[in-house]
Every structure is written in structure tokens, then in C-alpha cells.
Chain A
């Protein structure tokens, strides 16, 4: 009786979340899978069961290139966010001694997360533009004579924006795991003659792995699913899978958009499944 009671109460409390997720997550995914087999005319879509959309996806070299570009963005952004995020978290966790200072600096790192991503993207324009701050400074220093054209509307600016927007997603989980490392382990390493770097490499890094994995999941999925950063920061000159989908939507080609979305979703889920083998999220919070 006791046990049944516990389950029933748990179910009752879980109903609201379940309802929201079923209506706005599961149902949309099911709908997308269904529509991905439909056909489309120029103005409307009609129910069907055909594999045309998928045949096109897997036959097109352009699509393959776009998928590769998406992986490229994800990989490069991951490497930068990890390097920067790890360094920042390490500094906060092990070099700041007073706890209130730690909290203050940590908050300083997280505040941009609660402001608008679009504004944060727009704010790079005066920096990177042809007559922007970066070019003006470099010219006045005599480093270059002509303004650099590749600063804005290029792969460079896209990745810069990704790193700018998402490094936070690395800092927070890594900092969280680092704070839970027992300080006596570090002392033990030092007492045994480990140098600072050796402690970092053989004690801190392995213990921080779960945080790194959680950050990686965030960054990789955010970058792979993005369509707005690539569009805005490349001035519509670069493409990733998300933009492929949003372009199709703009042309009312919903079935084709849905098929691409299904393939993207599968790709992302496979990547996450691989990453999840390394970490138990619920234990790490």
C-alpha cells in the first residue's frame, strides 16, 4: 500500500510536466516525422507516403557539404569554448580564495546568459565591420594597410559569435564539478611532489570530466541546432543544417524542412548518446 501510494503521488505531481512535454515536444516530433513523408506543391502541402524528401537529402552533394559545415562549426566552437571555459572555471575554483569573491565573479560570468542573444550578436558589428574598431585599430598600429574583409560575414565571425554566446555553458558545469573536488586530494598530490601542472593533468582534469561532458553536450547541441547565428553573423553567406530547414520553411516547403529536421535530430541524438556514455547527468547536479 505504501509503495503504490508513493507512485500515485509521484505521478500526480509529474502530470503538468508530462502534459507540456507530450503536447509541445513529443507531438511536434511525431508531426515532423509524419510530414517528412508528405508532398508539397508551391503553395500547399498534401498528405502522402513518399520517400522523395529523404531521397533528395541523401542524394544531394550540397546537403552533405552543409552537414559537414555544421560539424565543423560544432567542433571548432567546442574546442574554443572548452579551452576558455576550463581556464576560467579553474581560475575561479582554485585561485579565488574568498567565497563571496568567487560568487561575485561567477555571477559576472553568467549575467550575459540572461540577456538577449540577438543583441549580443548585433553588438559585434561595430567591432568587426569594414570600418569597425578591429580594423581601425590594426591599421593605426600599422599591422595591416587594407581593412580585413574576413572579420565580419565569414566563418570567423560565426565561430566568434558561437564562442561568445556559449562559453558560459562550459564555465558553469565545469566550475560546479571543480567546486566539489575534495581539496585534500590536491594537498595529497602536492605532498607527493606533484608540480602544479601535474596536479592539473592527473588529479583535477579526470575529476572534472563529468562537468566537461555536460558542457560539451550543451555547446555541441546548441551549435548544431542553430540557424540564427549562422544566418546573421555570415550575412547569409554561409549555411548549416538549421538554415537549410529555415530556408525551406520560408519557401513553405514544410515536408522537405521536416525531413531535414528528422535527419538533424537523429544526428544530434546520436552525438548525445555517445557523449552520455561518459557521464551520469543526474548524479552530477
Chain B
């Protein structure tokens, strides 16, 4: 192995600083959420306690955050399932280069880059004028899909651009129907990427704010609840909440990554040696 150039060490230092920049603030509030009961929003620490975490379980201190959490979780799950199913279908559709696919593609890109507040405002106005009630599970759900579906679609593009068509041809040559080819050949091959799509679907929905703002109705999702707290809560209880929900997100990410890893291991164990020239 050749010697590292000097630039390597400079860049390593830069990278470490970047990570500090990314994680430093979050770690700070994690530490500060253990403030003593008399502690404030900044250092120094005024003792160490679980006071503010205990406060999270008292309605009068924080409002209905557990209800908000349950709603966010349910919504995230709905968005996740929908995103995976719709992304796969659309990914398969785009492989066929059907007439009008260009328009749909640009529509999806528009959905990704459009300022979120336009979706929020537009959906809110439509429901209002139609006399429908906005609710997180209807208007909120649809608005979030305009954010998660394009991401899912982009991932599917990346997946199918790298997909080796000869597997499908082999399946067809052996007499598999179109459905069998998809069910037993295509889906198992792209399964790990689908876990990625699911991760995007859930976390983007769970943290989504701008598109849900005017479309969630009278029952808030967790990010809306947290944002409401920023204007009237001036104690470290908000740090405690931030720490908990970040830990929850990290846990979710961990579960998904673990799933990908386990799947890879299983594949290595049960896979054939086909194509390896053995």
C-alpha cells in the first residue's frame, strides 16, 4: 500500500470537523436535556436529573405530545407502505417507456422541488372550498406523499438502471409468466432497495413539517406539536422531547439498516454460485 499524501490528513481533519458540525448541536441538547430542575436552556448544567423527561409524561407541561406521537407514527406507517407499493409499480411502468412517461417524470420532479408551502396552501384551499374537513389521515397523508413518492421513484430509477435484464430473460425462457417473473425474480433482487424506500417513506413522513402545516387539521402531528412548543416553552423539556424523538428516529434507522444487513447475510448463505465462474 502506498503512503498517504498530506492532503489525506488535511481532508480527514475537515471530515471530522464536518461530522462535529453535523452531530455537535444534537449532542449538546442531548446533554442539556439532563439539566437539573432549576437549569436553563444553556450551559452551565445546574445539576443532573431526569426531571425534564418526567415532565414529558405530564399533560399540563407539554400538551398532548403522546397523541401527536401516535398520529405521526400511524401516518408514517401509512406513507411508508404506500410509498413502497406505488414506487415499485411506477418504477416497473417507467421501464416500459410508455407514452406520456416523460410528462409524468417531470411532474414527479416538480413535486420534489416545489416549495412545500404551496402544497400546504393549495391542498388546504381545495379542501376548504369543497367543504371537506382537513385531517392528517386524508389531506395530510396526500400532501406528504407528494414529498415521499418522488424520492421513492428516484431510488427505483437508480435500482432499475443497474438491473441486469438477463435474469428476467432467463426466467421467461424457462416458461415463467410475467407475474411469476416479477414475484420470484425481480422483487427478490430489488428487495434490499425496497427497505431503503421504506426508510425514506417513514422517516420523511415522521419528520415532515411544511407540507402538513395547513393540512393536518385540528389534531397535530409530532413535528407540528414541537414547533408549537418552540414559541411558548422555555424550559429544557423541549430538549428532552427532541432527544427522545431523535433517539426514536435513530432506532428506526437502525432497524432498517439491520434488515438490509440480515438480508445480505442470508443471500450470501443461501445464494448460488451462478455467474461466479466456479
Which residue numbers of A lie inside 8 Å of B, CB to CB? 6-7, 9-14, 16-18, 20-21, 23-29, 31-32, 35, 84, 87-88, 90-92, 95, 97, 105, 107-109, 111-112, 114-120, 122-127, 129, 131-133, 136, 164, 167, 196, 217-218, 221, 224-228, 232, 242, 245-246, 249, 254, 257-258, 261, 264-265, 268-269, 272, 281-282, 285
Contact = CB atoms under 8 A, between A and B. Distances in A.
Contacts of A268: 113-115
A125 B41 contact: yes
Given A91-B12, A119-B246, A25 B119 contact: yes
Given A116-B223, A118-B209, A129-B41, A14 B90 contact: yes
A222 to B, nearest CB: 8
Given A123-B242, A136-B43, A196-B5, A117 B15 contact: no
Interface in B224-276: 226-227, 230, 238-239, 242, 245-246, 249-250, 252-253, 257
Interface residues of B, number: 88
Contacts of B227: 118, 228
Contacts of A125: 41-42
A117 B209 contact: yes
Contacts of B230: 118, 122, 232
B11 A87 contact: yes
Interface stretch (B18-26, B48-56, B167-175): B18-26
B69 interface: no
Interface stretch (B57-65, B96-104, B184-192): B96-104
A136 B261 CA distance: 44
A29 B118 contact: yes
A13 B206 CA distance: 27
B233 to A, nearest CB: 10
Interface string B141-179: 011011001000110011001000000000000000000
A164 B41 contact: no
B92 A13 contact: yes
A122 B29 contact: yes
Contacts of B193: none
Nearest to B161: A285
A256 to B, nearest CB: 11
Interface string B201-226: 00110110110001000000001001
Contact of B110 (A20, A25, A126, A282): A25
A91 B249 contact: no
- Chain A CB within 10 A, most for which of B115, B143, B157: B115
- Chain A CB within 10 A, most for which of B7, B111, B114, B227: B114
27 contacts: A10-B94, A10-B101, A13-B89, A17-B89, A17-B108, A21-B149, A25-B107, A29-B122, A109-B19, A111-B250, A116-B242, A117-B207, A119-B26, A122-B242, A123-B26, A123-B242, A126-B41, A129-B42, A132-B43, A226-B115, A228-B209, A232-B230, A254-B125, A261-B117, A264-B115, A264-B118, A285-B158
A92 B12 CA distance: 9
Contact of A91 (B11, B26, B104, B123): B11
Given A16-B85, A32-B118, A126-B42, A115 B125 contact: no
